Amino acid sequence: MLQPAFDPQLSGASVLITGGTGSFGRRFVRRLLAMPSGPARVVVLSRDELKQWEMSRDPGIEGDKRMRFFLGDVRDVVRLRRAFEGADVVVHAAALKQVPAAEYNPFEFVKTNVLGAQNVIEAALDAGVSRVVALSTDKAAAPINLYGATKLCSDKLFVAANAYKGSRDLRLSVVRYGNVFGSRGSVVPFFLERRATGVLPITDDRMTRFSLSLDEGVSFVFNALGAQLGGEIFVPQLPSYRILDLAAALAPECRLEVVGIRPGEKVHEEMITSGDSHRTAVFGSHFVILPPVTGWDEAAWLRAGQGRWAPPDFSYDSGTNDQWLDVPTLAAQVADHVSSKGANA
């Protein structure tokens, strides 16, 4: 599922990843460097010099002469322009992401997620970058918290930039998916931590989530780089799971305690709202929300990707999905996650 179907054509390219020391960036870089005909140069831009040093010692990265580490912040457009010099492809993964922190520090999230996104666009325009893919989140679809609102604004900025790029050979697109299974701050490590107490807190017993592994997320970004024409929002088709099934798979011996939904949290993950149904195309393994700009050849895009229009009032959320993971499958995924982390199950 979600294996690269489109050739991203990165042979000999210079690829830059903002926020590249995070979980996604590390896995993406390792995949880049392992490509048989890969990039000539890989640049990681981030704010934390310790994380950069630690990443430079990762297996598959350490000693590779194609690697560059660049200290900087997406809030600083002057520094971004310097980092973007010579870059052909940019993957924008830098963001502030914690929902509660956004509610207490709203403008800090605006400065990174909104103003930082526009800075990335400006630097790409000035540096002659040819392709940009920005990572988004399910929380940008019908946002109910500030983090989601800033990411929706970021998505709009990247889509709209295609309308004023002029004669530049530049394509800017967005990839939208939900929480990565087992990622920091997600429910799997939280349940693993709490199961020793014999009680698992459940916010709502109706809750569902999409399931996406880190490798699948990386593969989907490679797909977007290979398929993008500019202005699209790419959304993967994924299986869902019920939070009660995850609890049964991870700790069947534990008692469940319903504690209530946290501020800014949804019962189901949404990725496409009915308001976008008239611009959504359906493909074999993904959806594409096409841009609302004039002069965009939608029919040509559908022909190239062999897609079809979504039905009227179509929406895509984890609660009404037609693909579900059962308890044994979830248990196997948890075991794989624990094994990959070197933790004790």
Question: Rounded to an integer, what distance in angstroms lies between the CA atom of residue 332 and that of residue 250?
Answer: 9
How is residue 282 written in tokens?
């359906």
Looking only at the bridges linking them, the beta strands covering 67-71 and 171-175 are: unpaired
Do the Cβ atoms of 131 and 168 come closer than 8 Å? no
Tokens 């594409």 correspond to 288
Looking only at the bridges linking them, the beta strands covering 208-210 and 89-92 are: unpaired
For residue 74, what are the β-bridge partners?
Answer: none
Tokens 């999230």 correspond to 109
Catalytic residue selected from 139, 156, 165, 341: 139
* 139 included as an active-site residue: yes
Do the Cβ atoms of 60 and 26 come closer than 8 Å? no
Q: Give catalytic residues, as residue numbers.
A: 139
